[in-house]
Amino acid sequence: MECYKANELMMGYMDSTLTEDQASKLNQHLRTCASCKEDFLVYNNIMKEFSKAEVIAAPPGFEESVMKKIQSIEFKRNGLFSADSFVCVVWGMFSVLFGLGFILFLYKDAVLETLAAIPYMSAFIATMLPISEFVTSLSNSILLSGEVMLGIITSSRYIVLGIILCLATVQYAMYRKEKLNKHKAG
Amino acid sequence: MEVENLTDYELIQKCINEDNNYFSELVSRYKNLVYSIILRMINDREEANDLAQEVFIKVYKNLHKYYPDYKFSTWIMRITTNHVIDYRRKKKQDTVAIEDVEYELKSDGSPEETYIETEQREALNALLDSLPDMYRIPILLYHKEGLSYQEIADVIDEPLSKVKNRIFRGRRIMKDTLLSSAN
C-alpha cells in the first residue's frame, strides 16, 4: 500500500470509521513502513489527549448576569429616552419648526404689515424690514439658480434618468447582499 | 406545561410573544456549550465569561431571525464562533501565552504522571492554539465538542468536503509540528 493511502486510513482511524479489512491493511503497512508508524504514533497521542477533553461548565450565576443585561436593554428600548424615541423627538421638533418657518416665510409681508399696525410694535418692525427685504432677495436668487438647474436637468434628462437607474440598481444589489449576509449570520 | 419540557423553538416563540424571562431557560440549556467553545478558543476564563454573555445577548436580539431549518444549537454555535472570530480580529490576538492557560486536571496517577500529562496537554493545547482558525475551529468542534462533520459544516457554513479537508489538514499540521519539535 502507498503511504498516502495509509495516511487516509489513519484519518479514518481517528474518525472511528475503519472497517476491519481497512484496519488490518493499515496494520500491515505500519509493520513495514517506519515513517508511517511514526506518524501513526503521533496521531495516536494527539487522539488520546483529545479524548480526555474535560467538561467545561459556565461560571455560577451566568443566567442571572445575562438576564440582568437583557432587562436593562429592554428598559432602554421601552424607556422614554431610548435611542429610537430620541431620534423621533428630534425629527418631530425639526419638522414642526421647519414647517412654521416656511409658513412665516410665505406670509412674511402680510405678517409684518399686521404687526406694524400695532402702535407699540411699529418701531421694532421698522428694524425688521431690511431683514425681510434681504430674505426676499435671497429667495429670489435661490429661485433663479433653481431655474438654471432645472434647465440643465431637463436638457440632460436622459443622462439623469440613466444615473438614477444605475443608483437604484446598485442600491438593490447592496440590499440583496446585506439580506444574504444577514441570512448567513443568523 | 413545565418550562423544562418545552422544545427550544417553543421557548423562542414564548420568549418573543409572551415573556422574555423564558430566555433564561435557553441560557441554562446552552451556557455550557457556548462557554466551553469560547474558553477553548481564547483560553481566558474572564474574557470567555464576558464573551459568552455577549453571545447570549446577541442571540436574544436576533431571536426573531431564527428559523428551525437548523437546530438551535447549530445556530447558537455559529453565532458563538463568529463572535469570537470578530473579537479576536479586533484584538489582533492570535496566540495565547501558555502560562495563561488554566487546567483542571483530575488524575489518580502519581505526581510525576500528572506532571507529564499536564505537560503533554499543555503542549498539545498550545499547538492547537497556534493553528489558524480555519483548521482550529473544525478540530475543536469535532474532537472536543463531539460534533459530526455535517454539524460542523452547518455551523461554519461551508460544504462537508471542505470541513473534512480542513480537519485532516489540521491534524497533519499538528503531527508535523510535533514530529519536527521532537527531532
A186:B27 CB<8 A? no
pLDDT by residue (tens digit) across A132-180? 788 888 888 888 888 887 777 677 777 778 888 999 999 888 888 777 7
Query: What distance in Å separates the CA atoms of residue A183 and residue B10, rounded to the nearest whole number?
Result: 21
Q: pTM here?
A: 0.62
pLDDT by residue (tens digit) across A60-88? 989 899 998 888 877 766 655 555 667 77
Listed in sequence order, the residues at least 6 apart from A85 whose beta carbon sits closer than 8 Å to its beta carbon are A79
Residue A186 predicted with pLDDT over 60: no
For chain B, the average pLDDT equals 83
Q: Which of B171, B178, B181 to mutate to test the interface with A (most CBs of A within 10 A)?
A: B171
Extract the C-alpha cell encoding B35: 462557554
Neighbours of B51 (CB within 10 A): 23
Q: Which of A70, A181, A182 to mutate to test the interface with B (most CBs of B within 10 A)?
A: A70
Closest CA to A186 of B27, B39, B76, B181: B76
B178 pLDDT band, cuts 50/70/90, is confident
B39:A45 CB<8 A? no
Q: Number of CB pairs < 8 Å for A and B?
A: 92
Amino acid identity at A41: L
ipTM of the complex: 0.75
Residue B137 predicted with pLDDT over 90: yes
User: How much is the average pLDDT of A28-34?
Assistant: 91
Residues in B whose CB is inside 8 Å of some CB of A read 20-21, 23-24, 27-28, 31-32, 34-36, 39-40, 45, 49, 52-53, 56-57, 60-62, 65-66, 75, 78-79, 82, 104-106, 120-121, 124, 143-144, 157, 168, 171-172, 174-175, 178-179
B169 pLDDT band, cuts 50/70/90, is very high
SS3 of chain B: the string is CCHHHCCHHHHHHHHHHCCHHHHHHHHHHHHHHHHHHHHHHHCCHHHHHHHHHHHHHHHHHCHHHCCCCCCHHHHHHHHHHHHHHHHHHHHCCCCCCHHHCCCCCCCCCCHHHHHHHHHHHHHHHHHHHHCCHHHHHHHHHHHHCCCCHHHHHHHHCCCHHHHHHHHHHHHHHHHHHHHHHHC
Lowest mean pLDDT among A97-111, A171-185, B142-156: A171-185
Neighbours of B90 (CB within 10 A): 8
Nearest CA in chain A to B117: A49
Q: What residues in B contact A53, CB-CB < 8 Å?
A: 143-144
Tell me the CA distances in angstroms from A59 to A52, A56, A112, B28, B104, one per residue in order.
21, 9, 72, 11, 14
